[in-house]
């Protein structure tokens, strides 16, 4: 009997250890923001997908995408992999595997990315840190918010109040006939690294109105607080997705297509309040007070609670802006 009791005690102890480890692993579930060495930003979402561990990842630029695989090493270490193809020569494509290791301590983690160098002769390691993001919470009642005094972001004369994010890059922005024009043209045979333009002031929550003219096949973006990109692109006639005109890039798809043809002036009316976004394009509401769960590709900062500038993409294509007015929300 004593032997049986000892066995039962051991079994229950083992089950308790397993249960504790599983609960600790579930502490990884949720949304995490990432600061990458060198100043870039990422985002990780970990979830249970019908009984299987799954994850989505944003790394520096581009879109939030599902990972190739995700698995636990132990209750504090998560491995995530993603793959992509590149052409190293004319003969064939190569598949590159990136391995991300996340080591959690409470609501923070440290991590490393390892991937092969382009020539395959050695490994490249990138370090990063991150922390858990709080849930955005319920949608704010926009009928009850109070506004401050409107701020004219662009004076129609010069670039007063604006600066390049990276002053070492080329500036493709200039003022033409009272309009802010970005025309990043590369001279024949040259590759110029054009920069993004940001406001000198930083803002918390606000309403932003502007007019924009994006030529056929061109592409740009307006970043709210330097973190959330509202897409500016010629997507007239394209199937609705999270990369269309007025979308929050790769995060929120417009409910309806309201863009005009490329080359026509269009109006954007954007409200950012309590990590929720509303977008009205050409008088039609296409995003209605929807939560934005984390930074978009190209974000300047990872802290979603922090104020930030308005910034305009300058490295994609030609675009014209005018009548840019920001009205702060008073809290």
Pairwise CA distance, residues 113 & 124, whole Å: 8
Is a pLDDT exceeding 70 seen at residue 3? no
**Report field, pTM of the whole predicted structure over 0.85:** yes
Q: For 8-28, what is each residue's pLDDT tens digit?
A: 444 443 433 334 445 668 899
The domains located in the chain, with CATH, are 26-132 (2.40.128), 142-330 (2.60.120.560)
Q: How much is the mean pLDDT over the chain? A: 92
Q: For 137-187, what is each residue's pLDDT tens digit?
A: 999 999 999 999 999 999 999 999 999 999 999 999 999 999 999 999 888
Q: For 198-247, what is each residue's pLDDT tens digit?
A: 999 999 999 999 999 999 999 999 999 999 999 999 999 999 999 999 99
pLDDT of residue 251: 97
Q: Largest Cα–Cα distance in the chain? A: 94
Is a pLDDT exceeding 80 seen at residue 304? yes
Looking at the DSSP bridge assignments, the partners of residue 17 are none
């Amino acid at each position: 009997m004593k032997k049986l009791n000892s066995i039962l005690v051991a079994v229950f102890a083992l089950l308790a250890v397993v249960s504790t480890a599983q609960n600790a692993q579930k502490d990884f579930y949720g949304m995490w923001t990432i600061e990458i060495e060198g100043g870039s930003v990422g985002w990780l979402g970990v979830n249970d997908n019908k009984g299987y561990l799954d994850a989505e990842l944003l790394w520096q630029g581009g879109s939030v995408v599902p990972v190739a695989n995700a698995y636990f090493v132990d209750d504090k270490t998560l491995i995530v992999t993603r793959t992509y193809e590149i052409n190293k020569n004319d003969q064939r494509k190569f598949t590159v595997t990136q391995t991300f290791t996340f080591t959690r301590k409470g609501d923070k983690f440290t991590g490393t990315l390892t991937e092969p160098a382009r020539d395959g002769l050695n490994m490249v390691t990138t370090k990063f840190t991150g922390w858990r993001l709080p849930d955005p919470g319920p949608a704010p009642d926009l009928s009850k918010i109070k506004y401050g005094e409107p701020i004219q972001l662009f004076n129609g004369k010069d670039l007063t109040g604006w600066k390049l994010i990276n002053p070492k890059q080329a500036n493709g922005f200039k003022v033409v006939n009272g309009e802010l024009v970005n025309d990043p043209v590369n001279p024949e045979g040259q590759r110029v690294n054009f920069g993004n333009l940001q406001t000198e002031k930083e803002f918390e929550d606000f309403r932003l109105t502007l007019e924009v003219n994006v030529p056929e096949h061109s592409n740009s973006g307006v970043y709210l607080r330097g973190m959330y990109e509202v897409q500016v692109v010629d997507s007239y006639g394209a199937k609705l997705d999270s990369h269309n005109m007025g979308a929050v890039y790769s995060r929120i798809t417009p409910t309806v297509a309201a863009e005009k043809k490329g080359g026509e002036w269009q109006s954007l009316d954007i409200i950012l309040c309590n990590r929720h976004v509303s977008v009205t394009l050409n008088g039609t509401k296409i995003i209605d007070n929807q939560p934005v769960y984390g930074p978009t590709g190209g974000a300047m900062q990872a802290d979603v609670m922090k104020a930030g500038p308005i910034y305009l993409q300058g490295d994609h294509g030609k675009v014209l802006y005018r009548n840019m007015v920001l009205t702060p929300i008073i809290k």
